[in-house]
Structure 1
């Protein structure tokens, strides 16, 4: 009898250990000790577009990842024009997805409504090295109701955007560099009047003009959103929360946009364009695009490859505001949808890529010897030395790369733009506290209003924002009427209350 009891006890303990092993490792087979024993294809979704060579790069990347960790990653870039709607569809239908790029706007929209997994404990458990990069204060910026739903990128970028433009075209017509909106208008007028093979902005100019609008009047985005119509009126008046379409400044700007559209700065069909200015300037059909300081540095490299005969320059919108600030850690990151069956594997693989220089370089820069070479100092040359630039296509995965950034693995460009260090030094010298970027807005009580307002913005606001309406004042009247009907007042009240609570909680004044 005693022997039987001992046997039963041993069996019970064995079963308990089996169950615990299965619970802790998820898809890993119990007792194997290998978290990568089962092959898994991770599904990732990202904003933005992919480059022509990205499939080639990812094939090589996945070969290495599968060989070492029995995992591959299937990345789908959803474009720039409609990715928000596709995100909503993926997250609301429960379509299986393991990783999704998120920016502050997307994070605020979905973190509080159960769309993403709580990774508060999982981040530390499965990504210990990357977790150690962040202070508790930084991670507190990302938390919603005390919980973490994002793996943030690890970088320090200045938030301000600016105009990246073809300086050689300015020189061609005897113009100086762009230093103001007035000098921008002179540049644009000359290009529109004299250059038949390109536009001032080829593609959809809405985001570029929206960023210029905000900087011109000192409006500040909340939670780092580049799209929300609810903003802080200015940096020094933080309690003045507004819906900008109801301001006099918006009316003034809308008339300017009507003039610029009439001067043919962009196509009358620009809203439906399948090209974006970022891509268009690289193929010589656009004179300008929008970029922050980091993006301008990257674009200098692209233009040196794609249009080596061109000369480019950059005008930061910090010249208009008089200050700059660093983006919060919520700027870019990955979230794991609740529909993911592979949360543990996804986090383990992120830890590996973000700490392995070879895999990181492949993901971020492409294939060494083709897309890039490295100097003795470890700086990057694009394309690779000895490779004809005309034979090399771009590797890009937009948000999927932004979220992967780790500043200690990022490569510096080898001598592409001497002005970058000077620009960053200037932005650092005028840097102020980022009062608005790290807040996470909970829209769960106003989801219906938010969806309705966003629809109105797209239908009525975007055409006004780029001046393709017949009567500006009548269009704004109708826009405001539709926003009221959609629930803008309730949405504004909700955001305002949360901002006041955020200010009080963090001692911001």
Structure 2
């Protein structure tokens, strides 16, 4: 967190920018964040419920009452680590003392969250805190009334530390129809995919260092032909990595219409929508996936596979993994600690292709609209985000058992494969703050190299902050999701007899389901949004 004069400057900037400037949804009044593999309208007075919060101190009279003990229930996405209970016992010792509350984390696994997340709200289950993100249909759920509106009064009263730390831009991105429903992460990074492979096998079969998807394919082919005990790439129904590697190195897409391929290419400032599913590049991708499937690059039951790719790799069942840079960096460090003989390597296959930095709303936390303890939930989140003791526990585990700090301020993970709480394994991304997140002592050197390379190729486009308001096309979007489940996933995994026919059928079904209507609505909102930026 900033101190001294910097804090005063930040507070003044937040008040000026958030209370007095235009917001980026002249269209956010018509926009909600899109799901992405991973705004705001005209200004309104800071006293208004729809204004962005400012970093002003709450009056003493508004000091929260914590005399009654409360138990908070929190939903996260991921798979709970073995020592989660031990870690949260320590968290709750602190929280009981600080705000007379305890928190119980619940997990929606990677294999089930797509189906189970919406049901949390549809069934009226009682809970308080929940992970929220633009790639997980934050705007759509906000429009449905799933989340509590976070007014400036609530945030200034119950999250004063966050008010000082949060970049003003983050609040603008979190707006849906000019109201805030999420406390975003303040850590900005990349969601682009990198791959991890076994260096010992790459060297064994004489494959040069990987620079392109074709290089990766040569590696997979060598494993498929020579290592019968290993799955080359253990893909599953939730796998997005192949599309990101092959499609996103040709386009620089921001997905606008979930469950479809309709995106904007961020290199194009005109904002014209493109349906990637109807491009020659997508057809070639479908053919390649069918070819990879026939060659045995993943298992025959891939459609039923719910095991995360990195878990399969770390268990020694597969020869490669793929995911975002931070997650793969952690996985490479774990692999090299547990199995140094694998010589696990991290590779960037973008090869100079354009990239973009994630919006802040790529991770965040929201309050359930039906929470019985919203004020205490916000206070708990303020501690998780800004208090180093809470942050370290939920991100790294218990010091001395799961990690230790090195002399140069880095985190050294302990326990190897036997650790019951690996770094980030408790799914703390929703409260990740840039000031408190620490580097790992064994972080692969490729992490910094790739990050620097992507920073150089990162494009800037106001549409990074655009959010699509799905209110007028809810029925069509529900139909599109059904089409995606039935047709798109099999194409992604290549489990189709004729990829050309499969793509043509999928696109025809999309049209029947009303995709053209959704595209027209999205394009209208994008055009209005871009006009508001001039």
TM-score interval for Structure 1 and Structure 2 normalised by the shorter chain: 0.7 to 0.9
Q: CA distance change for structure 1 residues 260 and 234 in 2, over 3 Å: closer, same or farther?
A: farther
Q: Which moved more, 1:127-136 or 1:278-287?
A: 127-136
Q: CA distance change for structure 1 residues 336 and 399 in 2, over 3 Å: closer, same or farther?
A: farther
Distance in 1 of aligned mates of 2:287 and 2:63? 66
Q: CA distance change for structure 1 residues 150 and 41 in 2, over 3 Å: closer, same or farther?
A: same
Pick one of 76, 81, 86 that aligns with 2:106.
76
Q: CA distance change for structure 1 residues 354 and 480 in 2, over 3 Å: closer, same or farther?
A: same
Distance in 1 of aligned mates of 2:342 and 2:317? 12
Distance in 2 of aligned mates of 1:413 and 1:97? 33
Match of 1:131, SS?
A: helix
Displacement after TM superposition at 1:237 (Å) = 5.9
- Post-superposition Cα deviations, 1:419-461, rounded to whole Å, max 9, x if no partner, equal 3222222222222214433222111111111111011101111
Tell me if the contact between 2:78 and 2:108 (Cα under 8 Å) persists in the aligned partners: yes
Pick one of 211, 215, 221 that aligns with 1:179.
211
Pick one of 144, 150, 155 that aligns with 1:123.
155
How does 1:455-470 map onto structure 2 within 5 Å? 455-470=482-497
1:16 alignment counterpart: none
Displacement after TM superposition at 1:151 (Å) = 0.1
Tell me if the contact between 2:334 and 2:417 (Cα under 8 Å) persists in the aligned partners: no
Pick one of 364, 371, 378 that aligns with 1:347.
378
How does 1:210-289 map onto structure 2 within 5 Å? 210-222=243-255, 228-233=260-265, 235-236=267-268, 238-289=270-321
Match of 1:294, SS?
A: helix
Pick one of 34, 41, 47 that aligns with 2:71.
41
Tell me if the contact between 2:185 and 2:430 (Cα under 8 Å) persists in the aligned partners: yes
Tell me if the contact between 2:83 and 2:421 (Cα under 8 Å) persists in the aligned partners: yes
Displacement after TM superposition at 1:110 (Å) = 1.3
Match of 1:75, SS?
A: strand
Q: Which moved more, 1:328-337 or 1:88-97?
A: 88-97
Pick one of 424, 429, 436 that aligns with 2:456.
429
Match of 1:403, SS?
A: helix
- Post-superposition Cα deviations, 1:458-499, rounded to whole Å, max 9, x if no partner, equal 111100111001122222232223212221111222222222
Gaps (5+ residues) in structure 2? Answer: 1-60
1:98 alignment counterpart: 128
Distance in 1 of aligned mates of 2:255 and 2:316? 35
1:408 alignment counterpart: 435
When the two chains are superposed, the root-mean-square deviation of aligned CA atoms in Å is 2.3
Distance in 2 of aligned mates of 1:370 and 1:398? 15
Gaps (5+ residues) in structure 1? Answer: 1-30
1:300 alignment counterpart: 332
Displacement after TM superposition at 1:154 (Å) = 1.1
Distance in 2 of aligned mates of 1:461 and 1:118? 34
1:381 alignment counterpart: 412
**TM-score normalised by length of structure 2:** 0.83
Structure 1 residue 494 corresponds to structure 2 residue 521: yes
Distance in 2 of aligned mates of 1:435 and 1:279? 36
2:39 alignment counterpart: none
2:33 alignment counterpart: none
1:365 alignment counterpart: 396
Match of 1:171, SS?
A: helix
- Post-superposition Cα deviations, 1:230-253, rounded to whole Å, max 9, x if no partner, equal 212462264331232222222221
Q: CA distance change for structure 1 residues 467 and 203 in 2, over 3 Å: closer, same or farther?
A: closer
Tell me if the contact between 1:328 and 1:434 (Cα under 8 Å) persists in the aligned partners: no
Q: CA distance change for structure 1 residues 248 and 326 in 2, over 3 Å: closer, same or farther?
A: same
Pick one of 420, 423, 427 that aligns with 1:393.
420
Match of 2:249, SS?
A: helix
Distance in 2 of aligned mates of 1:60 and 1:399? 14
Displacement after TM superposition at 1:307 (Å) = 2.4
Displacement after TM superposition at 1:62 (Å) = 2.4
Distance in 2 of aligned mates of 1:437 and 1:502? 11
Displacement after TM superposition at 1:409 (Å) = 0.9
Q: Which moved more, 1:359-368 or 1:397-406?
A: 397-406
Q: CA distance change for structure 1 residues 58 and 81 in 2, over 3 Å: closer, same or farther?
A: same
Displacement after TM superposition at 1:403 (Å) = 0.8
Match of 1:88, SS?
A: helix
